[in-house]
């Protein structure tokens, strides 16, 4: 499949395009994303097990949102059932992606604390008896650990970024989809960097009025990821929607 390398400024244009898609069905999109947020919050009720499960199935939900994005982009009306559609059609490969991402997260966090050392956190929290040299050493260890951990985490994130739409739209095996996603992300590091910075700034702005702006920003960002997928994989627009089986009501 063709991977297109785009200019750095496209990172901002993805957000603009995401807002264009969102504006077509704003209430439906707010509902879809808020339902997913509620599911995520409910998963936190079960310590350890809940977060593990939601990490595994998150790519399945995300693939469903990509289906809804395409429906909206093609001037259709997205359906609530699309949020769960990939559970019927592509659950196994998408959960595999979620599992790899989960393991990658655990490894990255383990590296951070492994390099920083078990005494770093108590020292940085100002526990009694911590002298200035111990604090400096703890800070240096933590910064080094975070640097190495991010070096591990970022490629994993790149490999997962486009994997759900590649799986749900093109029936790719999970490992192949992740390899293609990694290659596409690596070739488009600059627009993804611009996108990340813009997202961070918009997130801060949206959080100021009691986080109410996130009600709009989150669905816009979901749609913007679909926009980036279409931009980097131009053949994506040639895949007919009928190739993805939808669950019956």
| pTM for the model | 0.85
Gap between the Cα atoms of 89 and 241, Å rounded: 13
> How confident is the model at residue 236, as a pLDDT?
57
CB-side exposure of 86: number of CA atoms within 13 Å? 27
**Rounded to whole angstroms, what are the CA distances from 75 to 96, 104, 223, 249?**
32, 37, 14, 21
Query: Which residue has 């063709």 as its token pair?
Result: 2
Cβ burial of 179 (10 Å; 0-12, 13-18, 19+) is middle
> How confident is the model at residue 211, as a pLDDT?
78
Gap between the Cα atoms of 7 and 147, Å rounded: 27
Gap between the Cα atoms of 37 and 218, Å rounded: 10
Who contacts 25 (Cβ-Cβ below 8 Å, separation ≥6)? 72, 77, 78
Tens digits of pLDDT across the chain (249 residues): 889 999 999 999 999 999 999 999 999 999 999 999 999 999 888 888 888 999 999 999 999 999 999 999 999 999 999 999 999 999 999 999 999 999 998 888 888 777 766 555 565 555 545 567 767 777 777 788 788 888 889 999 999 999 999 999 999 999 999 999 999 999 999 999 999 999 999 999 998 877 788 999 999 999 999 999 999 998 755 444 434 444 443
As a residue count, the chain comes to 249
Give the start-to-end residue ranges of the domains of the chain. Answer: 10-238
CB-side exposure of 234: number of CA atoms within 13 Å? 5
> How confident is the model at residue 101, as a pLDDT?
93
> How confident is the model at residue 147, as a pLDDT?
86
């Amino acid at each position: 499949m063709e991977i297109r390398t785009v200019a750095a400024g496209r990172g901002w244009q993805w957000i603009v395009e995401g807002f264009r898609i969102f504006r077509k069905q704003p209430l439906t999109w707010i509902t879809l994303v808020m339902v997913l947020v509620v599911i995520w919050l409910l998963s936190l009720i079960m310590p350890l097990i809940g977060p593990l499960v939601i990490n595994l199935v998150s790519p399945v939900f995300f693939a469903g949102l990509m289906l809804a994005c395409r429906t909206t982009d093609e001037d259709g009306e997205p359906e609530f059932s699309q949020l769960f559609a990939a559970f019927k059609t592509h659950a196994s490969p998408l959960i595999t992606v979620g599992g790899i991402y989960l393991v990658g997260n655990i490894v990255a966090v383990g590296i951070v604390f492994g390099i920083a050392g078990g005494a770093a956190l108590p020292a940085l929290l100002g526990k009694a008896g911590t002298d200035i040299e111990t604090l400096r050493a703890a800070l240096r260890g933590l910064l080094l650990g975070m640097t190495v951990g991010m070096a591990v985490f970022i490629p994993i994130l790149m490999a997962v970024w486009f994997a759900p739409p590649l799986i749900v739209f093109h029936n790719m095996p999970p490992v192949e989809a992740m390899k293609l996603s990694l290659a596409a992300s690596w070739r488009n590091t600059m627009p993804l960097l611009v996108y990340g910075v813009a997202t961070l700034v918009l997130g801060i702005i949206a959080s100021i009025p009691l986080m109410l702006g996130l009600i709009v920003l989150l669905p816009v960002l979901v749609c913007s990821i679909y926009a980036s997928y279409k931009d980097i994989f131009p053949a994506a627009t040639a895949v007919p929607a009928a190739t993805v089986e939808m669950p019956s009501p």
